[in-house]
């Protein structure tokens, strides 16, 4: 505790600046990661629907939901294939 008392007045502002800078850096990294991993896809709302919801949706929304689902399944297939290739790649 003597160390903290030996510091002059106003040292805490530097601590807050460092912590604030770290928070900003982590936030930027998180947003960058999310954008690279398709986390900002607005069509994600269509993935909650299934075949039994057809009568509750307009024909255009139903068609869009099937299109989005097919695209999502294709992306998933590609990612799984890439992961399988990486696992089986010799070191």
CA distance 57 to 67: 14
- Residues 17 and 55 both lie in one domain: no
| Same domain (yes/no): 34, 72 | no
Rounded average pLDDT over 77-88: 92
Same domain, 53 and 36: no
What pTM was estimated for this model as a whole? 0.56
Residue 1 pLDDT > 70: no
**Residue 82 · residue 89 · CB < 8 Å:** no
**83 and 47 fall within a common domain:** yes
| Judgement on whether residues 53 and 90 belong to the same structural domain of the protein | yes
Whole domain around residue 64: which residue ranges? 41-91
Domain check: are 75 and 49 in the same one?
A: yes
Q: From CA 44, how far away is CA 72, in angstroms rounded?
A: 9
Tell whether the model's pLDDT for residue 7 goes beyond 80: no
Question: How many independent structural domains does the chain possess?
Answer: 2
SS3 26: helix
């Amino acid at each position: 505790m003597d160390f903290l008392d030996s510091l002059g007045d106003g040292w805490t502002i530097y601590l807050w600046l460092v912590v604030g800078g770290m928070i900003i850096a982590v936030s930027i990294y998180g947003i960058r990661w999310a954008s690279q991993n398709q986390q900002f896809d607005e069509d994600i709302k269509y993935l909650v629907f299934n075949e039994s919801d057809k009568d509750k949706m307009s024909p255009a929304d139903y068609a869009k939901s099937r299109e989005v689902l097919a695209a999502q399944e294709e992306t998933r297939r590609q990612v799984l294939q890439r992961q399988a290739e990486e696992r089986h790649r010799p070191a």
